[in-house]
Amino acid sequence: MSIIAVGSAKASPGVTSLSVGLGFLWESTTGRQAVLIEADSDGGVLAARFGLSLAPSLVEFSGAIRHEVTIDRLQRNSQLLAGQLPALVAPGCGETTSLVLGSISKQLVDGLDHLKEIDLVIDIGRVRPYSPTTDLVRRCDLVILVVRPHFDQLVPLVHQARRMIAQNIPTALVCVGDRPYPPTEMAKAAQVDLLGVMAYEPRVVQVLSGGFPSNRRHRRLLLWRTLNELVHRINYRLQNSVNTRIAA
């Protein structure tokens, strides 16, 4: 299994949108099923944004896994986003979400062996030093830092990337849009690999609400093409790190 966390150093650059987009395209590229977990300690937006129910959520999941984590319990507490992507949503309230994330994070880490058949895409929101998801983030195969390529986001990014690298957490960068500051320069300054760019698309929520289109013409939208490219690069990177570990 692979665990990919998506987070930001500052502001609201598009972490949730990227997480949802990656989730939609995950299975067609990797051949493995993904479950999206909304683990943003500021509270969730998925239910409200994509017309899902308030429950089941992390709250019910936390109760269900008190004794043991199982795929069945994860799936039963997830809701289908756009009829395609199983998503475990967070309550809208940040305090409640932080409370449940504290216990869920530890239980997930202890129970990862039970989730081998699936991959997790975890929306961790803003990355903070004492976040309730810290233990889980340390177990991730890849943490993707999302940033808008603006000069004022550079310093927070550089500091966050340094913190991740100091903890030996594999970290890479995705930029939302490619202007005005060159994404390659952002990555160079932060000393992390640039996975690529998610296209700047003002209708991103509307587009994602419909799920990954079955219609070929609609798939040609730059947003889908860039998301597809990103999933390929992430998958390639994950495969390579597995091979390197095996070789070592």
Residue numbers of the site for ligand ADP (CB under 6 A)?
Answer: 8, 12-17, 45, 176, 198, 200-202, 204-205
Number of residues located near Mg ion, criterion CB under 5 A = 2
Question: Rounded to the nearest whole angstrom, what is the least distance from the CB of residue 244 to ligand ADP in the complex?
Answer: 31
Q: Which does 141 bind (CB under 5 to 8 A by kind): ligand ADP, Mg ion, none?
A: none
Lookup: tokens for 171 = 């970290």
46 neighbors 16 (Cβ within 8 angstroms): yes
Torsion of CA 222, 228, 16, 195, to 10 degrees: -100
By C-beta, is 52 or 204 nearer to ligand ADP? 204
- Which one of the spans 9-17, 24-32, 88-96, 166-174 is the region binding Mg ion (CB under 5 A)? 9-17
DSSP letter at 7 equals: E
- How far is 19 from 67, CA to CA, in rounded Å? 28
Q: Which does 120 bind (CB under 5 to 8 A by kind): ligand ADP, Mg ion, none?
A: none
- How far is 46 from 71, CA to CA, in rounded Å? 21
73 neighbors 108 (Cβ within 8 angstroms): no
Question: Rounded to the nearest whole angstrom, what is the least distance from the CB of residue 40 to Mg ion in the complex?
Answer: 5
Question: Rounded to the nearest whole angstrom, what is the least distance from the CB of residue 104 to ligand ADP in the complex?
Answer: 19
- How far is 120 from 99, CA to CA, in rounded Å? 21
- How far is 57 from 46, CA to CA, in rounded Å? 10
Question: Rounded to the nearest whole angstrom, what is the least distance from the CB of residue 209 to ligand ADP in the complex?
Answer: 11
Residue 82 makes CB contacts below 8 A (sequence gap 6+) with 24, 50, 208, 209, 210, 211, 212
Question: Rounded to the nearest whole angstrom, what is the least distance from the CB of residue 227 to ligand ADP in the complex?
Answer: 9
Work out whether 5 is an interface residue with Mg ion (CB under 5 A): no
By C-beta, is 57 or 107 nearer to ligand ADP? 57
Lookup: tokens for 52 = 């899902």
Q: Which residue of 2, 8, 16, 133 would you call a contact of Mg ion, by CB under 5 A?
A: 16
| Footprint on this chain of Mg ion (rule: CB under 5 A) | 15-16
